[in-house]
Structure 1
Amino acid sequence: MRRVMSAATLAAAMLVTAAGTGAADDHLPDPSYSYPGGVLAEVTGPGQSPPGANDRSCRPTAEHPNPVVLLHGLSNDTMSWNTLSPVLTRAGYCVFTTTYGSEGPGPLGATAPVQDSAAQVGRFVDQVLAATGAKHVDLVSHSIGGAVAYYYLSRLGGAAKIGRYIALAAPMHGSTVSGLAAAQPLVESTGSGATATRRCGPCQLSPGAPFLRDFHPNPAATPRIPFTMIVTRYDEIATPYTTGLLDGPNVHNVVLQDLCPTDFTDHNELPSDPVAVHEVLNALDPTHATPSTCTVVLPFLGPVSTPHR
């Protein structure tokens, strides 16, 4: 398994030396629309950029003027964006990803405190803007990545650099993790447990955590930025699933099962879910939004039949 680089180091290397396929490249592999496809990509090529992402030659177009920055959850960019990245690239977007918030060796990011991860994301966004000449980026995040993105937006000056905010299964009001979060106080009652949770980003979103008491996402405070919140009723990690919904005049909440009752996608499959992917495309370009096509989607495994986009 790879040693995850810091966001700043990875971004610098990516933007200077990456050999991407380009937003207009027609030779990208077909999106897998399944979480196992991303896992396989990490196993066969640890640390590789998702297809179509991190092309240093990509320049935003008048149709899509904002680069899209994809922020994973408790995972990494290889596993999380193996589907969405090539879909967006084929649609003409400049796509950038990084693995941020690593607290040590291994493939997982987003383990660091939210504040630290948000600062790394901020530096990465600055590098994307400098490389592309754009004024804003559109942020698309999954899971805790949504909290990291919002902390950057609201506390670290990111609002001035963000065009659109899109989050999938983001625990904006904390998460019970299907009841597992109730064990956190017991873990913290031991000396080693308290030390471990002190640097644990996901632990900050457990009910009653000090960070969560001060977080309070308020999209109305940044009325210029449209928010799109996409959730699944079958989420087993960001629970209850309504934690991923927000209130505000500039918020569009999407419950996938309201669009497609046969979509049984779970938390990890969500970034590869065909209905969710289509809703991300709609959120990025609402002027050309189209209805999503309903299909049967299984938890973890993805759609029963391959979507045609």
Structure 2
Amino acid sequence: MKLGVLKYACMATLQLASSTTKAASLNKRSDLWDAINALKLVGHPGNDFDCRSTVHPNPVVLIHALSANPDVDLNLLQQDLKRKGYCTFSTIYGNHEHLAPWIGGLTSMRDSSRTVAEFILEVADQTGSDKVDLVGHSEGGVMAFYVPMAHAEVAAKVAHSISLGPAIHGALYYGLANLWYAGGDVSRELASAMLRLLGCAACDDMAVGGDIYNAFKEAARIVPAGIQATVIMSTKDTLVAPSVSRVEEVGVRNLLVQDRCPEDPVGHAGLAWDTGVWDMIRNELAENYTAPVNCIQGLPV
């Protein structure tokens, strides 16, 4: 379950479970959020444009998943990287300005790619860095490939691009997308129109036949020359299978979590919170590919 969803689930549970006074219910909710805040499960460490690191000179831009934002999803990884001396940055993209603006990754990915591109260039400019590293999860992992491919000025600034469970070859949404073709192109177009009407153009863009899927399919090369790209996948990912994520190009490393951690059952969402995966990410950023990975039992979701 996404941590953003957990927030509202916890609040709803408190409201339903309260059999005493309203004040008591509010106190319970306050106590719960004090605990959550103490654990730093929600919230990111902020964007410090004055940050400089001689050990890790490239700023790291983290790109969140569908329906997420910088305060959930990759926020725990961002906190960990910052503690280890990295300069880290994140921003929301793809949110509807006037409707639940805290939910990102929903609007047209071509449009939101410009938001991500502008932020990457801002980070490079404000920090005075020649190169920037990208880490994206799910839709954010797709963005980590698409933004440099579509924006040459960004490609010139990216050194490493790391994607966790990206749907490069068409998101299937647990097989639901296959039903969109039940009536051929007509039903596929109807599905596209419905998704966009419901506010999730990105859901359509990443699916087979979608805008970003087609952009990757038609590209002579997905990864611009000069970028070291990595895809990190799990054999236990039931939402985006490794076959949907792999990019078979020169300069791309395709890694399975289970090749380093055979007993890790981590699923698609869990990739963002798995500390063994975090070790793999840091190893890729440092190009220290044989460095150890401390395996855990990740979340099978």
**TM-score bracket, shorter-length normalisation:** 0.7 to 0.9
Deviation digits for residues 32-57 of structure 1, max 9, x if unmatched?
Answer: xx9649955998599x9844341233
1:160 aligned to 2:156? yes
Deviation digits for residues 94-136 of structure 1, max 9, x if unmatched?
Answer: 0001111113422321111111111000111122122211122
Residues 166, 193 of structure 1: CA spacing in aligned structure 2 closer, same or farther, 3 A cutoff? Answer: same
The answer for the alignment partner of 1:227 in structure 2 is 229
Q: Which amino acid aligns with 2:244?
A: T
**Structure 1 residues without counterparts, runs of 5 or longer:** 1-33, 301-309
Shift of 1:192: 6.4
The answer for the alignment partner of 1:298 in structure 2 is 299
The answer for the alignment partner of 2:26 in structure 1 is none
Q: Could you state the TM-score of these two structures normalised by the residue count of structure 1?
A: 0.75
Contact kept in structure 1, 2:204 and 2:211, CA below 8 Å: no
Deviation digits for residues 178-212 of structure 1, max 9, x if unmatched?
Answer: 10212445585389627527961121121233542
The answer for the alignment partner of 1:284 in structure 2 is 285
The answer for the alignment partner of 2:23 in structure 1 is none
1:149 aligned to 2:150? no
Q: How does 1:82-161 map to 2 (within 5 A)?
A: 82-104=75-97, 105-106=99-100, 107-157=102-152, 158-161=154-157
| Structure 2: distance between partners of 1:211 and 1:220 | 11
| Structure 1: distance between partners of 2:264 and 2:253 | 19
1:214 aligned to 2:206? no
The answer for the alignment partner of 2:61 in structure 1 is 69
| Structure 2: distance between partners of 1:198 and 1:38 | 18
- Compare 70-79 and 211-220 and name the one that shifted more: 211-220
The answer for the alignment partner of 2:24 in structure 1 is none
Q: How does 1:197-212 map to 2 (within 5 A)?
A: 200-212=201-213
Q: Which amino acid aligns with 1:112?
A: T
Q: Which amino acid aligns with 2:176?
A: L
Computed over aligned residues only, the root mean square deviation of the Cα atoms, in angstroms, reads 3.1
4+ residue runs of structure 1 moved beyond 4 angstroms?
Answer: 34-46, 185-188, 217-221
Number of equivalenced pairs:
264
Q: Which amino acid aligns with 2:65?
A: G
Contact kept in structure 1, 2:274 and 2:299, CA below 8 Å: no
Larger relative contact order (C-alpha < 8 A, sep ≥ 6)? 1
Q: Which residue of 165, 172, 177 maps to 1:181?
A: 177
Contact kept in structure 2, 1:67 and 1:137, CA below 8 Å: yes
The answer for the alignment partner of 1:269 in structure 2 is 270
Contact kept in structure 2, 1:81 and 1:271, CA below 8 Å: yes
| Structure 2: distance between partners of 1:189 and 1:275 | 41
Q: Which residue of 165, 168, 174 maps to 1:172?
A: 168
| Structure 1: distance between partners of 2:58 and 2:175 | 39
Residues 63, 195 of structure 1: CA spacing in aligned structure 2 closer, same or farther, 3 A cutoff? Answer: closer
Q: Could you state the TM-score of these two structures normalised by the residue count of structure 2?
A: 0.77
